[in-house]
Chains A and B, each alone.
Chain A
Amino acid sequence: MIFLLALLLAAERPVIDLSGGRVQAYPLAMARPLGVQDAGVAVQSVLSQDFERSGLFKLLDPASFLARPTEGLTNIDYTKWQAVGAQGLIKISCDAPGAEVKCDMRLYDVAHGVELLHGTYNAPRAAMRQIAHRFGDDVVRYFTHEPAIFQTRIAYVRETEQGKQIVVADQDGANVQPLTGASINLLPAWTPDGRTIAFTSFRDGLGAHIYAVDAGTRQVRPLVLMGDFATGAVYAPDGLRFLFSASLDDNTDIYLSQADGSAGRRLTDSRGIDISASWSPDGKRIAFVSERAGSPQIYTMAADGSDVRRLTFQGNYNQEPAWSPKGDLIAFSGRDEHRIFDLYTVAVEGGKVTRLTQNQGTNEKPSWAPNGRYLLFSSTRGGKRQLWETQPDGSNQRAVTSERMGASDPAWGPLPASK
């Protein structure tokens, strides 16, 4: 009977369903660094930029902080951090013995007054930014349970007076290092292990061909010298094969080759141009551009070239597909009725097209971050073509490069190998 009574009481209790809470960035306070100030401030500055670019955190204004600036890493007065609206707190204490910087970095849960993360990070002074990126990755991974991208690198084409060169940089555009000279080099593509970058080059004077450069030694070797036009290499997720486009017999088709450039075989044979291949994350399908229906549109096919399906039906010039690491979307650039190229995504299932950029110059060449949370692209907004990044819904667009003569053809590198 007691059970019955409890049932009846529970039945009388009103129930209110609440959904649709506002999604807001997590309020995070970064306390003034302790220890050696120049190192601490530099590391904190990079970390702040990482967090702001991520779109995940709202960094609170240090001018509002109530806690003592000298408050240490322990005995924290959490009520003072709660009072300024912080839910998370980051504290950094750096030491710089000799040429190395060593930072004690901690994340606290202000509401519960507990330490969530604690690590010591070392790096040579010249590579101090890496300390911030490593801790930033740890923080994002702690919250989201997903891979973080602050330690990843990007490759792109830098415009120079002499031509176009392939360069690599940190994901935030810092630490730029050229990999090639400045003939005409285009369309970099990373191997999944991040050690090699394939690119298209006119360096031999015999047309466009595909080369590979070692990202460590900068040694360049030819990969595909087929015909007078071979371009757009893109490695399979297993790193054992790559796709490229080549023109033979007055027709451009997509070819599949072994990683060393051998045993190339044609995958498409339509009368129109087939170009710009992109692998699905599981390596089972390929997105590409084809003119077989009269205008460039996005198609997909099985990895052996069978089962071709048209994916886009809106617009009359869609190009540069990039399959998302999560597998659900393909980003592409499309020319709208004003003859301006902008970024879009198309859902692999259902084909819904969503626009990401609009009225902000020409926007092209999307490249996904390896965790699928961001897209890198080139844009002419602001004058010279530069690299920008956006979240897949078109929000939080920010400049990445500020090259004097411009930057294009971004390729986001893989996640660093787990240690």
Chain B
Amino acid sequence: MSESLPPKSVLALEARTPLTPGIALAVLLHVVVFGAALVLPRLFDRAPPLRKPIIAHMVALGKPRDPHLLPRKELAPPAAAASPMTVPVPSSKPSPAPRKREPTRQELMQRALARATGRAEPREEPDPERAGSAKGTPEGTAATAEEGDAYFTAVHDAILENYVVPSVISERERLYLSASVLAWIGPGGQILKHEFQKKSGNAFFDQALELAIQRTKLPPPPAEIAKSLRDTGVVLNFKP
């Protein structure tokens, strides 16, 4: 005769069950929550897949040139000083202003590229026929913008206007410099405070960024992002 075992109570069963599965389940749930928090925003805001870049070679204004000839100078010849001791004296008779010629579309595109690489004068007239916004930037590529994007474009342009890299920083060092500044913007457009998230390691570069931020006057932000800019701020990533 087999002796039937007394029924085990639920409590007894629980008492003998090790705690590990419960802890594992809790850890798993946390991992899922953390993973979702990290992955889901990227799923909805994912960068487009990498494509082979298309490099546009724009045609310069000029005449066709035999490729076997030596090149012409890329920029206008620099004004040569008469002697190292000479102090330039302004002419008493100002020369008549040259007749203004409307720049071609190619010239405007070249200027925009030159500005993007820091080789051009900071202020140039934009192409009046170009699609975009009155609040846009010459470097921009979109024809329309949400109000918030337009404001960040204005912030970009205003800081860039004051962004000067000291020439005493060697070209070799410029290749590697970068810095991040977190700035909080008040409702009137004033920069309430700023702090370096990452310094460049070059005191003169960091000082130039400080100066650029101090000298920048921003327009008031639109109402829908004003609170965020005041409380959360905006990250400014600088490279020479």
Contacts and interface: CB of A to CB of B under 8 A. Distances in A.
Interface of A: 4, 7-9, 11-26, 49, 52-53, 55-57, 87, 109, 111-112, 140, 143-146, 172-173, 313-316, 318, 334-337, 342, 344, 353-360, 381-382, 388, 394-400, 402
Interface in B113-147: 115-118, 122
Nearest to A373: B170
A19 B74 contact: no
A203 to B, nearest CB: 33
Contacts of B166: 23-26, 87, 143
A189 to B, nearest CB: 25
Contacts of B167: 23-26, 55-57
A143 B164 contact: no
Contact of B228 (A12, A334, A359): A12
B240 A111 contact: no
Contacts, number: 170
19 contacts: A4-B37, A12-B232, A16-B155, A18-B236, A18-B239, A20-B115, A22-B165, A23-B165, A23-B166, A112-B207, A146-B170, A172-B84, A336-B69, A337-B69, A342-B70, A382-B82, A388-B80, A394-B73, A398-B81
A24 B77 CA distance: 19
B93 interface: no
A316 B210 CA distance: 51
What 10 pairs between A and B have smallest CB-CB spacing?
Answer: A143-B168, A21-B163, A315-B70, A20-B118, A19-B239, A358-B73, A21-B165, A355-B73, A15-B235, A26-B166
Given A16-B159, A144-B169, A315-B69, 5 more contacts: A18-B236, A20-B163, A314-B67, A335-B70, A398-B81
A140 B80 CA distance: 23
Nearest to B151: A14
Nearest to A172: B84
Contact of A399 (B69, B84, B228): B84
Given A9-B232, A381-B80, A314 B70 contact: yes
Nearest to B231: A9
Contacts of B156: 16, 18
Nearest to B238: A18
A246 B155 CA distance: 65
Interface in B223-240: 228, 232-240
Contact of A15 (B212, B234, B239): B234
Q: How large is the interface on B (under 10, 10 to 19, 20 to 34, 35 or more residues)?
A: 35 or more
Contacts of A143: 166, 168-169, 204
Nearest to A317: B70
Interface of B: 33-34, 37-38, 41, 66-75, 77-78, 80-85, 115-118, 122, 152, 155-156, 159-160, 163-170, 173, 182, 204, 207-208, 210-212, 228, 232-240
In this complex, the member of A16, A49, A56, A316 whose beta carbon has the largest number of chain B beta carbons within 10 angstroms is A16
Contacts of B155: 16
B71 A7 contact: no
A354 B170 contact: no
Contacts of B207: 87, 109, 111-112
Nearest to A110: B207
B122 A314 contact: no
Contact of B80 (A21, A22, A26, A397): A397
A26 B182 CA distance: 26
A110 B89 CA distance: 30
Given A355-B71, A394-B75, A22 B228 contact: no
A16 B234 contact: yes
A144 B168 contact: yes
A22 B169 CA distance: 12
Contacts of B115: 20
A22 B115 CA distance: 9
Nearest to B66: A337
A16 B168 contact: no
Given A314-B68, A336-B69, A24 B165 contact: yes
B196 to A, nearest CB: 14
A184 B173 CA distance: 45
Contacts of B210: 111
B237 A15 contact: yes
Nearest to A111: B207
Taking each of B75, B117, B212, which has the highest tally of chain A beta carbons within 10 Å of its own beta carbon?
A: B75
B84 A49 contact: yes
A360 B236 CA distance: 44
A14 B73 contact: no
A18 B67 CA distance: 36
B165 A7 contact: no
Contacts of A26: 166-168, 204
A355 B70 contact: yes
A356 B38 CA distance: 53
Contacts of B233: 13
A359 B166 CA distance: 31
A145 B228 contact: no
Residue among A19, A335, A388 facing the most chain B CB atoms (10 A cut-off): A19
A398 B169 contact: no
A7 B211 CA distance: 30
B240 A21 contact: yes
Given A336-B70, A398-B80, A398-B81, A13 B168 contact: no
Nearest to A358: B73
A313 B239 contact: no
Residue of A20, A21, A146 ringed by the most chain B CB atoms within 10 A: A21
B70 A334 contact: yes
A49 B34 contact: no
Contacts of B169: 143-144
A402 B83 contact: yes
